[in-house]
Amino acid sequence: MAQQQQPEAVYTTDEYGRPFIILREQAKKTRSHGVEAIKAHILAARTVSNIIRTSLGPRGLDKILISPDGDITVTNDGATILSQMEVEHPIAKLLVQLSKSQDDEIGDGTTGVVVLAGALLEQSENLLDRGLHPMRIADGFERACSVAVQHLDKISDKLSFSKDNTENLLKTAMTSLGSKIVSKAHQQFAQIAVDAVMSVADLERRDVSFDLIKVDGKVGGSLEDTTLIKGVLIDKDMSHPGMPRVIKDARLAILTCPFEPPRPKTKHKLDITSVEEYKKLRDYEKQKFEDMIKNVKDTGANLVICQWGFDDEANHLLLQNELPAVRWVGGPEIETFQLIAIATQGRIVPRFEDLTSKKLGKAGIIREVSFGTTRDKMLIIEECANTRAVTIFVRGSNKMIIDEAKRALHDAICVVRNMVVDNRVVYGGGATEISCSIAVGKAADDVPSIEQYAMRAFASALDVIPLALAENSGLPPIETLAEIKSRHVTENNPRLGIDCTGTGDNDMKKQFIFDPLISKRQQLLLATQLVRAILKIDDVITSGASSE
Residue 228 pairs in a beta bridge with 392
Statement: residue 28 has pLDDT above 50: no
Single-letter code of the amino acid located at 390: V
pLDDT band at residue 12 under the 50/70/90 scheme: low
Q: In angstroms, rounded to a whole number, what is the distance separating the alpha carbons of residues 519 and 470?
A: 21
Determine the pLDDT at residue 159. 83
User: What is the strand order of the sheet 514-516 is part of?
Assistant: 157-158, 424-427, 514-516
Q: Which of 54, 75, 80, 110 is catalytic?
A: 110
Q: Is 403 a catalytic residue?
A: no
Q: Is 111 a catalytic residue?
A: yes
Statement: residue 501 has pLDDT above 90: no
Q: Which of 111, 166, 391, 432 is catalytic?
A: 111
Per DSSP, helices labelled H in 156-264 are 167-177, 186-200
Determine the pLDDT at residue 548. 45
pLDDT digits (tens, 9 = 90+) for 259-303: 777 666 666 677 788 888 888 888 888 888 888 888 888 888 889
Q: Which of 73, 75, 77, 432 is catalytic?
A: 77
Q: Is 528 a catalytic residue?
A: no
Q: Can you give the residue ranges of every domain in the chain?
A: 32-157+430-460+514-541, 231-386
Mean pLDDT of 201-213: 84
Percent of the chain past pLDDT 90, that is, above it, reads 15
Statement: residue 458 has pLDDT above 90: yes
Statement: residue 460 has pLDDT above 50: yes
pLDDT band at residue 149 under the 50/70/90 scheme: very high
Question: Which CATH architecture is the domain 32-157+430-460+514-541 placed in?
Answer: Orthogonal Bundle (1.10)
All residues at 6 or more sequence positions from 548 whose CB lies less than 8 Å from its CB, including other chains = 6, 24, 27, 28
Determine the pLDDT at residue 463. 92
Statement: residue 108 has pLDDT above 70: yes
Determine the pLDDT at residue 546. 45
Q: Is 539 a catalytic residue?
A: no
pLDDT digits (tens, 9 = 90+) for 418-449: 888 888 889 888 899 999 999 998 898 888 88
What superfamily in CATH does domain 231-386 come from?
Answer: GroEL (3.50.7.10)
Determine the pLDDT at residue 21. 47
All residues at 6 or more sequence positions from 249 whose CB lies less than 8 Å from its CB, including other chains = 302, 364, 365
By the 8 A CB rule, do 326 and 382 touch? no
Question: Which of the two residues, 192 and 34, has the higher pLDDT score?
Answer: 192
What stretch of H or E contains 63? strand 63-66
Q: In angstroms, rounded to a whole number, what is the distance separating the alpha carbons of residues 47 and 52?
A: 9
pLDDT band at residue 109 under the 50/70/90 scheme: confident
Question: Which of the two residues, 387 and 152, has the higher pLDDT score?
Answer: 152
Q: Which of 411, 499, 507, 515 is catalytic?
A: 411
- Give the predicted TM-score (pTM) of the model: 0.79
Statement: residue 4 has pLDDT above 70: no
CA proximity to 440, closest of 146, 152, 155, 144: 144
- pLDDT averaged over every residue in the chain: 83
Residue 80 main-chain phi, psi, to 5 deg: -70, -45
